[in-house]
Chain A
């Protein structure tokens, strides 16, 4: 393989990696923050694709479809959260798996009923429908590069929101560990965090409450204090001693 091809293949893999990041970030956020294993993530992805198709057919423009699609997706997500997922936060992962697997089947049938089983595509908007000549026979579609730029912008924005804003702090404060219990180290860290004192009331009250419960459930006060001193509580000895049964408790 010549050097030009090598560079193009590198570009291909970066581009594909960014695309996978975009899809995977949703899954990770939902699992990491809400503690929900969403097997239907692929179905949500599919709904997005079909929304783009239906709205582009209706409005004649992909940009308009995206502008309309985002609030629609948000509304749909909020509805599902209210109707289904809200009941699952306190249950174990097996039940979440059961529900989200059921959703896959339901979404698939609904899609078949509503849009049919034919193959569809969305036309690339004119301003992106060009190619950059790379070698004498190969050119690179501008659309793919544009997608990569969108992915990078989203990645940076996501980092900024989660690490640098009040909203992000609330999200992190609500971040539960894999047993549906808050990580005491996060709670403590956030509690002591200067910016936190500026008053993210709800998250803080929640953190306080969880900390108290931790103490009640047998974490030795000294461990907790020790952790506050250490800041991040990274060592293995600091996990609060809990009976396995308690995992299931709210």
Chain B
């Protein structure tokens, strides 16, 4: 018995030594990924989904990116712009990451992008949609795997104008993403001959919508366009239905209105039409494989954020491949990412000159707690990247 224990201990020791030896030998050949995402607070679920998606691709790729082992440095950004610069600098200068991946909140992402530009560190944004990130503030080092605020809303504006809708009232929170969404919608809708009769805003994240519903009822527009997300969106949709407006004035918005909160709305969301770059019920092989694997790994269904995390990893893999697996050859990595065609679960996409996805936007309809795809309303929609000099 004693001998056995002794033998076992020897074996453990020997294994530990071997493992230690291996890891020290490979330490210099690793790729270091800095994940700066929200793991607490309102956006914690989104941060986790992005991380899951990213790690899923790495796992499918044999635990490697560009043929090298992957090492993670993780920071919880708390969706707090005040701490963003310090957190990003910590990852870049102390952890010496090869690529910064983050984040959800646009304010934090803007601060991160500044650090990435200043330190010439590669950065991939897996969600934050502020137009500026791939607009006036675009940079060779900053890529985005998600969307710009302009994209889904512009597609909705086009679709409604084509449908022959004439007068629309808009409601949103008064902060940059909401205002950019409404501006994107207005641009396309008015170009198509429609008219926005009234823009209404309320401070973020207020949820007392009753006065706005009353105003809508007295304006009687043909349709209402809103940007809200998360719990606020669930409340707006419920209140809209409870005020009896849903049956008389159709409600539209970018897909964030009905993503991840349909359960909280009860039946109030049923039948709502929204636009986004991802949907339930896509029939591509890639999406099916992605969803099965995700559900198997994490025991939950994936969402659009998981897809964006997954694609962030795919984009970096494409860059590393072009550079022969060496993250230090930054120019080659950037060239590789720029010219890549990403086989995403959402459908294949390429990157624009400003490094934002050129992607299809889907019209989706809420059917029994799913955002089911109806059609592609805008094929290969490219953000205009106004103010970008790349």
Contact = CB atoms under 8 A, between A and B. Distances in A.
B264 A137 contact: no
Output the residue of A4, A120, A131, A137 with the most chain B CB within 10 A.
Answer: A137
A138 B264 contact: no
Nearest to A138: B217
A129 B342 CA distance: 48
Nearest to B42: A117
B220 A137 contact: yes
Contact of A5 (B41, B208, B218, B245): B218
B218 to A, nearest CB: 4
Interface string A87-111: 0000000000000000000001100
Contacts of A4: 218
B263 A137 contact: no
Contacts of B45: 116-118
Nearest to A135: B217
A213 to B, nearest CB: 47
A133 interface: yes
A140 B264 contact: no
A106 B316 CA distance: 38
A120 B248 contact: no
A5 B243 CA distance: 13
Contacts of A59: none
Contact of A140 (B41, B215, B243, B265): B243
Interface in B105-137: none
A25 interface: no
Nearest to B214: A8
Interface string B216-227: 011010000000
Interface stretch (A9-17, A68-76, A181-189, A238-246): A9-17
Given A112-B44, A119-B260, A120-B263, A12 B211 contact: yes
B264 to A, nearest CB: 4
Contact of B245 (A9, A13, A120, A137): A137
A121 B207 CA distance: 14
A53 to B, nearest CB: 9
A112 B210 CA distance: 29
Interface string B368-386: 0000000000000000000
Contacts of B243: 131, 138-141
Interface string B199-214: 0000000001011011
A121 B244 contact: no
Nearest to A140: B243
A126 interface: no
B210 A16 contact: yes
A1 interface: yes
Contact of B242 (A8, A16, A131): A131
A8 B213 CA distance: 10
A118 B218 CA distance: 34
Contact of B266 (A12, A121, A139, A141): A121
B339 interface: no
Interface residues of B, number: 32
B48 to A, nearest CB: 8
Given A1-B218, A119-B230, A138 B213 contact: yes
A145 B217 CA distance: 19
B15 interface: no
A108 B239 CA distance: 26
Contact of A12 (B214, B230, B234): B214
Contacts of B266: 121, 123
A89 B45 CA distance: 39
Contacts of B211: 9, 12-13
Interface in B228-251: 230-231, 234-235, 238-239, 242-245, 248-249
A138 B245 contact: yes
A128 to B, nearest CB: 10
Nearest to A16: B208
A135 B244 CA distance: 10
Nearest to B208: A16
The 9 closest A-B pairs by CB, nearest first: A138-B217, A139-B244, A121-B264, A141-B242, A5-B218, A119-B261, A117-B45, A12-B210, A119-B264
25 contacts: A8-B214, A9-B211, A9-B214, A12-B211, A16-B210, A108-B40, A108-B41, A112-B40, A112-B44, A116-B45, A117-B44, A119-B260, A119-B263, A120-B263, A120-B264, A121-B234, A121-B266, A133-B244, A135-B218, A137-B244, A137-B249, A138-B217, A138-B244, A140-B243, A141-B243
Interface of A: 1-2, 4-5, 8-9, 12-13, 15-16, 108-109, 112, 116-121, 123-124, 131, 133, 135, 137-141, 143-144
Given A121-B234, A131-B244, A138-B218, 9 more contacts: A5-B215, A12-B210, A116-B45, A117-B44, A119-B263, A119-B264, A137-B217, A138-B243, A139-B243
